[in-house]
Structure 1
Amino acid sequence: MKRFMGTETEYGITTPDAPELSQLLSSTHTVVAYAAMNTAARSRWDYEEEAPLKDTRGFDLQRYRTVPIVDPNAMGIANVVTVNGARFYVDHGHPEYSAPETTNAWDAMIYDAAGDTYLNTAAANIQELWDQQVSVLDRNDPCPPVKFYKNNVDGKGQSYGSHENYLYSRNTDFARLTQALIPFFVTRQVIIGAGRVGIGQASERDGFQISQRADYFEQEVSLETTLNRGIVNTRDEPHALAGRFRRLHVIVGDANMSQYSNYLKLGMTKLVLDAIESDVDFSDLTLKDPVAEIKRVSHDPTCTHELSLADGRSLTAINILREYRARCEQLEGKDDVDTHVLEMWGQILDDLERDPLSTADRLDWTAKWALIRTYLDRGVDIADPKLKLIDIQYADIDPAKSLYHALVRKGRIKTLVSEEEIQRAVANPPENTRAYFRGKVSQKFGEDIIAASWQSIIFSVNGSPHRVAMDFVDSFTKEEIGDVLNGSDNVYDLLKAIGYKHV
């Protein structure tokens, strides 16, 4: 089956001139300001297919007994469907960009990067409204200028998510899936970690570690995403036909600035899922104590820590990832992106084994570690606050202020795609998934959309709602619907053309 995928990023947010301001308020201002100044799509989110507390293991905590109806501008609820088919909204007090569905890791990486542009545009909108002393929220003062960070921790014990999503078959045995994924998720951080100054959830100890998120995982398997987090998340909310599909909701990754880290994160995981669904056996890689090992791996920037396996062996994270790669390499039906990912995966492992810092031109955590090491070599103590400042400045998404972007400009960090390619993804949805329809109708008929979700669009025609279901991710593509969309002058014509007779 096609491996549809996408990312979700909760951005760190601050108001430097008003640090006491609630981030829930500033996040709501952010999304509403973007909507007010950049798109007509101001529809509420359609929660009918939402089931965030439904568990793959067979139970449902039922957050909603009925489908909630909410004001799209309400505090903490603000939501926009963007012209590229993404969702931009407030989640747990953070602005979140949920990228549109894509068919491969390369496209998913590009559409993830497009989220930074949306947030930077929102920051510019907030600045403009502040200069004019205009508020987009009733009964609230204008929002002071905001800053956004693509990171996962506030350094005081709180962590916010960067999630991945992969569609897979409901026929896949979840216990076997879990067993195969846990060692991979524990070890892949040596490639995809974003790096962090501080050890422990609240940075109780001084030091540097590979991953921003590793210290926040407390169980092997869990439904929770904000506490008691599990290495494998069990949410059963496919956003597709529930009888045929599940969505692997991955919460055990960092938010990446590096295009290499992001691409490999998505591409490697896709290949491992392909292997699992091809009955490749990974049971010999089962770890003795995964929850302890995810922290031990993260706390060792030398990448030499040996993990204890259930069968008594000890292997480094690099050696375990070599095993995963070797088995994925034997898969049949690999496409060009898969082949490219495997080649890059092998090269990165070779370089990490030789010298982790030799990857500082490609990976986030080693790029950050290389910067920090220059200070340590001059005698600066690892507890010095200026090193924490480097950590946060690296993740600043403002190209004029970001250490990551400064390293790119100096040629010290390589990129895979140009800024022009990212901007095309900002302005246009993927053409080969249902995101094409979602993005195009939001751009063309935004004023006529009552509500939207991953699986449907509800249009208003002469005051009556009409739902267009999109249960298949590979439906409503440019090939299937592009000519109809281009030839429709209004929603009435569009619905008639796609077979809705009673409008």
Structure 2
Amino acid sequence: MSVRRVMGIETELGITSAQVDTLGRPLTPMHLSGQVVQAYAAGAGPGAALPRSSGWDYADETPLRDARGYEVARMLADISQLTDVEDPTIANTVLSNGARFYVDHAHPEYSSPEVTSPLEALRYDRAGEQVALAALRTLAEQGREVRLYKNNVDGKGASYGTHENYLVPRTVPFARLAESLIPFLVARPVIAGAGRVGLGQTSERAGFQLSQRADYLEAEVGLETTLRRPIVNTRDEPHATPHLHRRLHVIVGDATMADVTTVLALGSLSAVLRLVETFPDAVPDIPLRAPVAAAQVISHDPTLRSTVETLDGRALTGLDLVEAYLEQVEEAAVSGHEAWVLDDDTRHVLGRWRSVLDGLRTDPASCAGQVEWVAKHQLLERFRDRAGVGWDDARVRAMDIQWHDLDPARGLAQKLRAAGQLERLVPEASVTAAVTEPPRDTRAWFRGEVVRRFGDDVRGASWDSVVLADERGRARRVQLPEPTEGNREQTAELLARHTSTASLLTELVSEDF
């Protein structure tokens, strides 16, 4: 296959509310985020989510292991990196669709289940929006109003992540991955940015840019995700058989509301990864002189004309960089190599990638229905023209945030979707189904079905395990180290034979928890 691989998206949501505590103080984002997660678990109905008595299985988490060959000492790590420690005060649940919904760094985070194509990643990412909206409806019924935003900045200096994950063979040297990907990730916002009002981390300068995350990048390569943010993250936490796989954890992308933008972000990067894996000599040789600065130069110019320097003296635009990769991917796709099967997913991604690039070169406005930053830029420009105001106008900044509001009655992107001005790639009924049904071709099927069928007897779960109660109520861990095993074809009949986890465990290999 080519663009098909195990992948998924994690999205931290922005959150606001006018709620106060008994002393009249505003509730903290941590408290509000907990309300959201607990509201979904309480209101979604039987079998939709694990109960509060269950937890996350942290046994295989390795957040301080670095792909460059070492592990950071815990005493030297920032507290935000210690994601392998259970905190019983933090709301945390696993859903029947195989996703995780929990509080992460004072934000509600929806981590989608493992899927095997960009289109499925889009479907389950959109399902996360419906999960969040269901939680808000439950809170509203209780008289608690909360707003959620699918974005990455608050306009005041804070940034929160949308992380992508890709399964990559362990045989590919990490240094080669990093070197090959940096120029592409620097330029990818040209086709996959969500757009942002304000330049600089605190929006200290007026303007519009392509990417929500570019101004928060501070290093080329590194382990951190909330400080000294790198272009290429080095966390070596595969959530899979470690000697076979690595998980490429990408933290530079934007939360996207436009279907085509989401598919382009994941599909193009998956194709570049396949190029690195199969034709490393064909990867474009574009050594950028200053990659972090280049990311900001490209992001800050919606005209797409600014250039960045390479070490060998070339001056290239973001479009040039992205097209250099596309040309090599297109050549590989027709090479006849067994890894490059022109399935429907690959044809769709490469066709969209080419048509969007051509459109951006000739008439960027023609891409408004597909590329999110273009759509947002057009909408805000029309308002600015009517109102006669600049990019620093408070109403423009408010509209930038309102673009990402998940409430269909308020969210500007939601309204454009409903009006057909942002092209839909996944029918709404299919997204709704993904809220409760797990993907059929990964271990997420087993995880999600166990939650749905036996939720009260599931003691915990993680990406590569489920913890079940045996006949004596003892916790037993079942390992799921291979992301494409434990799928529907392999486990549907097994699950159908049992009515309890104790019975199910008689056919599974497990270990004491």
Same fold, TM exceeding 0.5? yes
The equivalent of 2:367 in structure 1 is 359
Q: Give the stretch that moved more between structures: 32-41 or 419-428.
A: 32-41
Q: Give the stretch that moved more between structures: 469-478 or 121-130.
A: 121-130
Change (3 A) 1:499 1:294: closer
Shift of 1:316: 1.3
* Residue 126 of structure 1, aligned match among 139, 144, 151: 139
Contact 1:303 1:356 in 2 (8 A): no
Question: CA–CA distance in 1 between the matches of 2:465 and 2:420?
Answer: 44
Contact 1:180 1:286 in 2 (8 A): no
The equivalent of 1:97 in structure 2 is 110
- 1:6 maps to a residue whose letter is G
Contact 2:198 2:207 in 1 (8 A): yes
Question: CA–CA distance in 2 between the matches of 1:85 and 1:502?
Answer: 23
Question: CA–CA distance in 2 between the matches of 1:231 and 1:88?
Answer: 26
Q: Can you list the C-alpha shifts for 1:140-195, whole angstroms capped at 9, x where unaligned?
A: xxxx3111000000111000000000011111111111111000000010111111
Matches within 5 A, 1:242-321: 242-281=242-281, 282=283, 284-321=285-322
Shift of 1:63: 4.1
Contact 2:124 2:434 in 1 (8 A): yes
Does 2:222 align with 1:222? Answer: yes
SS at match of 1:288: coil
Matches within 5 A, 1:6-405: 6-18=8-20, 20-38=26-44, 39=48, 41-42=50-51, 43-63=54-74, 68-71=85-88, 74=89, 77-130=90-143, 144-281=144-281, 282=283, 284-331=285-332, 332=337, 333-334=340-341, 335-378=343-386, 379-405=388-414
Change (3 A) 1:62 1:47: farther
Contact 1:284 1:311 in 2 (8 A): no
TM-score by length of 2: 0.91
SS at match of 2:506: helix
The equivalent of 1:465 in structure 2 is 475
Change (3 A) 1:152 1:69: closer
The equivalent of 2:78 in structure 1 is none
Contact 2:240 2:464 in 1 (8 A): yes
- 2:171 maps to a residue whose letter is N
Shift of 1:361: 1.3
Contact 1:187 1:321 in 2 (8 A): yes
Q: List gaps (5 residues or longer) in structure 1.
A: 131-143
RMSD: 1.9
Question: CA–CA distance in 2 between the matches of 1:241 and 1:360?
Answer: 42
Q: Give the stretch that moved more between structures: 250-259 or 395-404.
A: 395-404
Q: Can you list the C-alpha shifts for 1:117-138, whole angstroms capped at 9, x where unaligned?
A: 11001111112233xxxxxxxx
Contact 2:34 2:103 in 1 (8 A): yes
SS at match of 1:445: helix
TM-score by length of 1: 0.93
Shift of 1:497: 3.3
Shift of 1:283: 5.2
Q: Give the stretch that moved more between structures: 432-441 or 29-38.
A: 29-38
Question: CA–CA distance in 1 between the matches of 2:124 and 2:220?
Answer: 30
Question: CA–CA distance in 2 between the matches of 1:99 and 1:67?
Answer: 19
Contact 1:54 1:62 in 2 (8 A): no
Change (3 A) 1:501 1:473: closer
Contact 2:67 2:235 in 1 (8 A): yes
Shift of 1:37: 2.7
Question: CA–CA distance in 1 between the matches of 2:503 and 2:380?
Answer: 59
Shift of 1:339: 1.5
- 2:486 maps to a residue whose letter is F
- 2:392 maps to a residue whose letter is A
Question: CA–CA distance in 2 between the matches of 1:240 and 1:344?
Answer: 31
Q: Give the stretch that moved more between structures: 250-259 or 486-495.
A: 486-495
Q: How many residues align?
A: 486
The equivalent of 1:4 in structure 2 is 6
SS at match of 1:284: coil
Shift of 1:479: 0.2
Q: Can you list the C-alpha shifts for 1:192-231, whole angstroms capped at 9, x where unaligned?
A: 1111111000000011111111000011011111111110
Change (3 A) 1:431 1:210: same
Change (3 A) 1:502 1:50: closer
- 1:57 maps to a residue whose letter is R
The equivalent of 2:493 in structure 1 is 483
- 2:295 maps to a residue whose letter is I
Matches within 5 A, 1:416-495: 416-461=425-470, 462-495=472-505
